[in-house]
Structure 1
Amino acid sequence: MKKIGILNSDISRVISELGHTDTIVICDSGLPIPAHVKRIDLALKQGVPRFMDCLATVLQEMQVEEAIIALEMEEKSPALKEEMTSVLEGVTLHEISHEEFKILTHDAKAIIRTGEFTPYANVILQAGVIF
């Protein structure tokens, strides 16, 4: 049994296989997931697990250089956006329309679906390098 870090084998594997500029998505329970992208479904029930719990855990193991969110998050979920940007301190943040966001998910290595019911609780994380 793994002693530390992410215990979910699918998430751990995806992070370990990322190269520079590869992306993963952490999303709410409503984001459409393209059929060809690996789905890691963690959703148990409304609100479980929370988007922020998943994001904070992934950030402990993944080197992130850029993040992308939907512009609509500012209006629909400002408190979550503030919480998210605080844990992404030092990461370049880009804001695009939700429609553009959904298009970019087609290139992700994996999408981690949470039980979050907060609108636009979605982020694309782009892998950086540690050297």
Structure 2
Amino acid sequence: MLKGISALLSPELLKILSEMGHGDEIVFADGNFPSASLAKRLVRADGHGIPELLQAALELLPLNRYVEYPVMLMQVVPGDPVETPVWEVYRKIVHETEGEDIKFTELERFEFYERAKKAYAVVATGERALYGNLILSKGVIS
């Protein structure tokens, strides 16, 4: 155990966050996401939801301020009537930890999958919210 670091962040996830460089991307994937088949590096966090992992990760991980959209969400498939209230939770967490100037964008489902294949790592969570997936681009510490 380490002081000041959330117990939600496993040693493996801490290592991944530390290894990532400026511009590298990490996916926080919901429970329905094909994490194992898409990930170059897979981190299991099955018992946890994305909001609490996002909060813990953003205490350590700076977001990329050199891109327009350092946070990317998986767009709802047209015609799917699902609601995405978890997105507002993500926005609140990001804006509280990184500031109101951080912008989000939505990527079409298959574009999101392609981006996930290139990501530094995918964190497979137990998140139950549909379209709960997000990608973060790592920034720099000044």
Does TM, scored on the shorter chain, surpass 0.5? Answer: yes
CA contact (8 A) 1:25 1:110 kept: yes
Gaps of 5+ in 2: 65-69, 96-100
Aligned equivalents of 1:20, 1:92: Cα separation in 2 = 17
In the other structure, the counterpart of 1:80 is: 86
- Percent identical among aligned pairs is 23
Specify the code of the residue in structure 1 equivalent to 2:88.
E
Which residue, out of 6, 10, 13, partners 2:12? 10
Paired residue type of 2:114: I
Question: Do the aligned partners of 2:39 and 2:122 also contact (CA within 8 Å) in 1?
Answer: no
Identify the structure with the greater strand proportion: 1
The Cα offsets for residues 74-126 of structure 1, whole Å up to 9 and x where unpaired, read as x6233111111111223221211111101100111111111111111111000
1:60 aligned residue: 59
TM-score (norm 2): 0.80
> Secondary structure at 2:28's aligned position in 1?
strand
Q: How far apart, in 2, do the equivalents of 1:121 and 1:28 lie?
A: 5
Distance 1:30 1:78 in 2: 15
- What is the CA–CA distance in structure 2 between the aligned matches of 1:128 and 1:108, rounded to whole Å? 14
In the alignment, what sits opposite 1:118? 129
The equivalent residue for 1:105 is 116
Distance of aligned partners of 1:86 and 1:129 in 2 relative to their CA distance in 1, 3 Å threshold: same
Runs of 4+ in 1 over 4 A off after TM superposition: none
Q: Within 2, Cα distance between the matches of 1:122 and 1:70?
A: 6
Confirm or deny: 8 A CA contact 1:6 1:12 kept in the other structure.
Answer: no
Aligned length: 126
Unmatched 5+ stretches in structure 1? none
Structure 1 residue 6 displacement after superposition: 4.1
Partner of 1:94: 105
Query: What value does the CA root-mean-square deviation take over the aligned residues?
Result: 1.8
Q: TM-score, normalised by structure 1?
A: 0.87
